[in-house]
Structure 1
Amino acid sequence: MIKIATAECFTHGKIGLELHALAQNYDGNFGSEYIKKPEEYGNFDYNQLSITCSLFIPTIDAVKDILNVENPPKPDYLIKGIKVYDESGDKKASKIMAKAVMNLTNCDIAIGTTAGIGHGAITIITNEYEITTITDVYSDLRANNSEELFQRSQSGIKKTLEIILLILNKNFEKINSLKNIEIIKK
């Protein structure tokens, strides 16, 4: 069984929900909204997948109190406690969030997402790899442009799910071909 846990900000826990629907083989209204043909990624048996937790962690206090991160990077801005970093800060924070949720849950794959000013960042950690990427959509949380923020979130959800399915099906060549990917082999 492969256990996955998420600590999500701008993706609002939807990555975890999608993976849970896939793992449980739900269909219809309870099924996956984004993953329509997982078999196109390979022959991984998704019954071997379990979602330990999917956390929505938008605030700096939640990073500290729920994820037990003593000294997270100081946000560039706070909006009602919501952490707002630039793109570089988002990359650092997403790595910290993924590592923290992995430590808390002892999962096999951890996902951290956060987005403030820029494309937002996603980090996926396994026992062998640390993969960090950004979305294809730029937005600024301070501008409160709902449609732009929604598009960035959608991009982040879709890109993360694609990477996870590629990881599960051991297609690292395809992961390497994606835009804005940083892979660290442990």
Structure 2
Amino acid sequence: MLIRIATAECFTHGKIATEIHAFSRGYPLSFNWRLVNSRYQLSLIAGLFIPTLSGVNTVLGCAPLNPVANLHDIKVYDQDQDLIMAEIMAKSVKRITGADIGIGTTAGIGKGGIAISYHDKCVKFSSECDANLLFDSYPVIQKRQQSGIIKTLEMLEKILEQEFSPGI
């Protein structure tokens, strides 16, 4: 069974999509996948980097939440808004691409929001690192990004094993 995945990423800069694609082609990059690649036929059908309000509106075709701050069209949300917006992005990218799984990420102030939409379900969670896009240094922002990428890929593995295992 081919499992099609699409991402709409902000704070993870398309790195989740890149890692999924590399794994699906047999050359994982930096994530230590536990899955056996031959058991899962994954296909990354879209990997979108969408940090802006206009991108959410025009590319994903949905109205973004009103942000706490707007940095030259870059959306900055608080923690609660990030979780809501990540879900909107995950569901939208899944819908517009016809993917089996949609992933959305966004982070402004807090640990960020990550959502994985599949079947009629959506799982939301955050990175392990707190950061503020408005004031924190690059190393702090990068630490949050890396945490978000790892947590997303770990959750994706769990969802694949529980909901998409061959033979289910």
TM-score, normalising length: structure 2: 0.92
Structure 2 CA distance for partners of 1:111 and 1:121, relative to 1, 3 Å: same
Q: In structure 1, which of residues 114, 128, 133 is the aligned counterpart of residue 106 of structure 2? A: 114
Distance in 1 separating the partners of 2:60 and 2:42: 23
Structure 1 residues 62-111: Cα deviation after superposition (integer angstroms, max 9, x where no partner) = 00011111x22111100111000000110111011111101110100000
Count, aligned residues: 162
2:39 aligned with 1:45: yes
Q: Per-residue deviation at 1:45?
A: 1.3
Which residue of structure 1 aligns with residue 57 of structure 2?
A: 64
What pairs up with 1:4-153 in 2 under 5 angstroms? 4-26=5-27, 31-34=28-31, 36-39=32-35, 45-46=39-40, 48-69=41-62, 71-153=63-145
Letter of the 1:45 counterpart? R
User: How far apart, CA to CA, are the structure 2 residues paired with 1:144 and 1:59?
Assistant: 19
Which runs of 4 or more aligned residues in structure 1 lie more than 4 Å from their structure 2 counterparts after TM superposition?
A: none
Report % sequence identity: 42
8 A Cα contact 1:44 1:168, kept in partner: no
Conserved 8 A contact 2:114-2:148:
yes
Amino acid of the residue matched to residue 25 of structure 1? Answer: G
Structure 1, unaligned stretches of length 5 or more? 172-186
Give CA deviations for 1:136-174 in whole Å, capped at 9, x if unaligned.
100000014100000000000000000001111118xxx
Cα RMSD over matched residues?
1.5
How many Å separate the matches in 1 of 2:38 and 2:112? Answer: 29
Matched residues in 2 for 1:67 and 1:44: separation?
Answer: 32
TM-score normalised by structure 1 residue count: 0.83
